[in-house]
Amino acid sequence: MRRPLLFAVLFAALCAPLVVSFTPARAQQAGQQPAPPAPQQQGPPFVTEVRLVDVIFTVLNRRQKFVTDLEKENFKVTEDGAPQDIRFFSRQTDLPLRVGLLLDTSNSIRDRLKFEQEAAIDFFYSTLRRNKDLAFLMIFDNEPSIIEDYTGDTDKLRDAINRQRAGGGTALYDGIYVACNDRLAHPPMPPGPTPEVRRVLVVISDGDDTHSDRAKSQAIEACQRAGVVIYAISTSTQWVTATEAADPTKRVNRKIHKEAGDKTLDQLTGETGGRAFFPYRVDDLAQSFQDIGDELRSQYSLAYVPQSKSVDGAFRKIKIEVDRKGLIVRARKGYYAPRTALITPTSAKPPGQ
C-alpha cells in the first residue's frame, strides 16, 4: 500500500520547475546576456534659488585710457553697502553686440538732422562686425517708431537713416523706454548652449524732451532692468562760439557749460554705465565713435550671488572698487531685485561660460 504513494511523490518532484540562480558570469557561460540591474529610484532634483547679478564695467586711468590687465583680486563689490563674494570674473572683449540706435528727428533738430544722419551712419560702419553684430534703427519725434529692425546689413541701415525727415515734438524718454523694454530686453541671440550678447543703446539727440508719456526715471529703469548701457552723442552745438570753432587751440574735448538737455544725457548714460559725448562738429565724431567701439571691447564682467534674498522689487545699489590708485570704475549704479523667487538648478554657470 505504501509503494503507490511513494511513486506519486517522486513523480511530482520530477515534474516541478527547475530554479537556478545565475550570476552574470554564469549567464555568460550559459550563452545568455545578464539581466540589467533594476534602476534605482531617484528622488526629484534638488533645486534652490540661485540669482546671479552680472555687472559689465570699464576701468580707466586719469588720462581716460582703458585699463584691461586687471584680475578678479583687484576688485571688490558691495550691494547696498554690504560686501559681496565675486563668484565669476572675466574680460568681456569679444561678445556679439546688439545695438539700438535712437535718432532724434523732432522739429527742434531740423537744422542738425544731416549731422545726426552722418553720425549714425559712421557709427554703424565703424562698429558693427559682419556675421556677428546686429543693430536696429529707431527714430522719435512725437512718438518713437522702429524704422529698421535687427539686421547686420549696414547698407540697409544707411538707406533707412538717409530717408528720415525732421518734424514734430520730442519724445526722448518714450523712445528709450521702447528701445530697452521691447527690443534690447529680448534681442536675437547667437547659437550655442549659453548665448550671451552685449546690449547697447546709442542715443543721438540734444537731450530735450517735450512729448513723452513716460518719465525719465521710467526710461532709466527700463534700461537697467534689461541690462542696457546707454551711450549718447549730443547734437547740441549752440555752446560753441565762432572764435572757438575757428581756433583749434581753444577747442576742448568736453563741454564746460551744460544746458538741461546736456545734463539729461549725462544722467541717462551715467545711471547705466555708459557716457555722453559732446563733439564740436561732424569732423570730431570719428574719435567719439572710436571711443565707443573701443570701450565695448575693453570691459570686464563680474557676477555675484547677492546676500540679500529679498524679492521686493526694490532697487539695489552696486559699487565696484579697484585696489589701484588713480583708476576709475564706470558701471551701472545698480539693479532692480525680482518681485518673485527665481528657482533654478544649483549648478549655475557664469555668464558667457
Is the per-residue pLDDT at 39 higher than 80?
A: no
d(C-alpha 237, C-alpha 222), whole Å: 29
Cβ density class 204-223: b for 16+ within 10 Å, e for less: bbbbbbebbebebeebbbbb
d(C-alpha 102, C-alpha 144), whole Å: 9
Averaged over 246-272, what is the pLDDT?
Answer: 74
- 176 domain-assigned: yes
Q: What pTM was computed for the model?
A: 0.75
Averaged over 44-49, what is the pLDDT?
Answer: 48
Q: Are residues 135 and 155 in the same domain?
A: yes
Torsion of CA 255, 260, 262, 263, to 10 degrees: 100
Q: Are residues 133 and 271 in the same domain?
A: yes
Q: Are residues 83 and 116 in the same domain?
A: no
Average pLDDT of the chain, as a whole number: 80
- 36 domain-assigned: no
- Residues sharing a CB contact under 8 Å with residue 162, sequence separation 6 or more, in sequence order: 117, 121
Give the number of other Cβ atoms within 10 Å of residue 25's Cβ. Answer: 9
The closest of 76, 135, 137 to 104, measured between CA atoms, is 137
Higher pLDDT, 248 or 313: 313
Taking only the tens place, the pLDDT of each residue in 118-140 is 878 888 888 899 999 999 999 99
DSSP structure class, residue 110 = G
- 320 domain-assigned: yes
Is the per-residue pLDDT at 323 higher than 90?
A: yes
First to last CA, the chain: 88
- 199 domain-assigned: yes
Indicate the helix (H) or strand (E) that contains 136. strand 134-140
Q: Are residues 80 and 131 in the same domain?
A: no
Is the per-residue pLDDT at 268 higher than 80?
A: yes
> Scanning the structure block, which residue is given the C-alpha cell 549752440?
238
pLDDT at 60: 92
Q: Are residues 53 and 107 in the same domain?
A: no
Q: Which amino acid is at 27?
A: A
Query: Do residues 269 and 230 lie in contact, with contact meaning Cβ atoms separated by under 8 Å?
Result: yes
d(C-alpha 171, C-alpha 190), whole Å: 32
- 1 domain-assigned: no
Query: Do residues 198 and 171 lie in contact, with contact meaning Cβ atoms separated by under 8 Å?
Result: no
Averaged over 63-87, what is the pLDDT?
Answer: 94
Is the per-residue pLDDT at 14 higher than 90?
A: no
Higher pLDDT, 344 or 23: 344
Q: Are residues 158 and 270 in the same domain?
A: yes
Calculate what percentage of the chain has a pLDDT beyond 90. 45
Higher pLDDT, 283 or 40: 283
What is the full DSSP assignment across 12-31? HHHHSPP-----HHHHHHTT
Q: Tell me the residue range of the domain where 269 lies.
A: 97-297
Query: Do residues 261 and 208 lie in contact, with contact meaning Cβ atoms separated by under 8 Å?
Result: yes
Q: Are residues 83 and 164 in the same domain?
A: no
Least confident of 28-42, 91-105, 186-200: 28-42
CATH number reported for the structural domain that contains residue 224 in this entry: 3.40.50.410
- Residues sharing a CB contact under 8 Å with residue 222, sequence separation 6 or more, in sequence order: 176, 177, 180, 181, 185
Q: Are residues 209 and 307 in the same domain?
A: no
Q: Are residues 201 and 321 in the same domain?
A: no
Is the per-residue pLDDT at 3 higher than 60?
A: no
pLDDT at 64: 83
pLDDT at 28: 43
- 337 domain-assigned: yes
Averaged over 240-261, what is the pLDDT?
Answer: 57
**What does the radius of gyration of the chain's CA atoms come to, in whole angstroms?**
32
Query: Do residues 139 and 105 lie in contact, with contact meaning Cβ atoms separated by under 8 Å?
Result: yes
d(C-alpha 134, C-alpha 164), whole Å: 21
Q: Are residues 187 and 77 in the same domain?
A: no
Residue 258, Cα to own-chain centre: how many angstroms? 30
Higher pLDDT, 32 or 176: 176
Q: Are residues 74 and 102 in the same domain?
A: no
**Would the CA dihedral through 155, 184, 291, 261 be positive or negative?**
positive
Q: Could you give the number of structural domains in the chain?
A: 2
Calculate what percentage of the chain has a pLDDT beyond 70. 75
- 328 domain-assigned: yes
pLDDT at 34: 52
SS3 sequence of 275-305: CEECCCCHHHHHHHHHHHHHHHCCEEEEEEC
Query: Do residues 214 and 243 lie in contact, with contact meaning Cβ atoms separated by under 8 Å?
Result: no
- 350 domain-assigned: no
pLDDT at 192: 82
Instruction: List the beta strands (DSSP E) in 226-293.
Output: 229-234, 276-277
The closest of 145, 158, 159, 150 to 102, measured between CA atoms, is 145
